[in-house]
Amino acid sequence: MNRDFNTSFSSSNLLCQETQQEQEACFSETAKESHHYKSPCSDNEGDDEYIQNLVQRETTTDVGFQINLFTTKTWLKSARFDGIQWIFNTRETFGFQVHTAYLSVTYFDRFIATRSVDEGKMWAIPLLSIACLSLAAKMEEPKAPFLSEFHTKDYQFENKVIQRMELMVLTTLEWKMSSATPFCYLHYFIRKFHGEFETKGLICKAIEFIIAIIKEMSLVDCRPSIIAAAAVLAALNGGLTRKAMEDKIGCISLWGSLQSEHIFSCYNMMVAIEMRKYVSDGGGGGGIKRKLTFNHSSDQNSLSKKICRP
């Protein structure tokens, strides 16, 4: 089934006439690929060759180009933030692992880097968020919720609409749904940068940096291993110079000079996020900023839900 991946997705695209047999075949194949997550660090966390293979696999899901959509579509940055907020709140509701949420954001970013989204179709972002989280749950969780269990604040989507969105995501991403996440590398980089001894606090801090940077950039712009290395370095020391960072990563043969530049840029972004958080929490006089939170919001919107049948 040929598709033009560079066209925008719209209601007419979404309601493409796949047969029932095609849809069943599609989702039965997804079920075959689904597996219960095992951390790649659990059995091979000190294996340089294994980590090298993980890094090599990252290239298989590259979109082949990087476009900063947020500079040309500022509305998309805000809409994406809302989609990520929903993904992480819903992750908490269902008790999903954090890497499941990260993987769904990866699907989201890869999709919008390939297809354009019209500003007037605001329903498309929550629908895409549902589809991406549902697919990630099918890939990584022991049991994925029914589609009818996914709820958004302003829209209620029919199951068949979500299924068609899932199919569109799968075909757009060329069924390349298995992907390493930064969490796969944390123990490895902690051992390389900090030695054999590691603390729970250090791991938690690195995870916080990974989650925080999600809202700052598209995940197609930075590979998981780069984000993981930067997060561990930021968790260890927020004041590293370029030279000090290069000395630390010099013992790892995973990257060249370009990747080292990316690590330093990602590291600086994480440190800047931490500084903004510090100023905000310390009452530095700045205005209130939107924050990416991960607790299920207690605020209840009184707006009636709109039944969305695009």
Q: Which residue has the tokens 């994480």?
A: 270
pLDDT per position as a tens digit, 283-306: 544 444 444 444 433 333 322 333
CA-wise closest residue to 112 among 98, 139, 90, 131: 131
Give the containing element (helix H, strand E) for 64: none
pLDDT per position as a tens digit, 60-71: 555 444 445 555
Quick one: DSSP state of residue 297?
Answer: P
| Across 133-148, average pLDDT | 95
Enumerate the β-bridge partners of residue 306: 155
Q: What angle do CA 179, 77, 292 make, to 5 degrees?
A: 75
pTM of the model: 0.74
- What's the rounded Cα separation, in Å, for the pair 21 and 23? 5
Residue 310: helix, strand or coil by DSSP? coil
| Sequence-ordered list of residues with C-beta below 8 angstroms from that of 289, at least 6 positions apart, any chain | 276, 280
Number of H helices, E strands in the chain: 14, 2
Backbone angles phi, psi at 252, to 5 degrees: -110, 130
Position 42 scores a pLDDT of 47
Residue 157: helix, strand or coil by DSSP? strand
Is 225:185 a contact under the CB 8 Å cutoff?
A: yes
pLDDT bracket for residue 38 (50, 70, 90): very low
Q: At residue 149, what is the residue type?
A: E
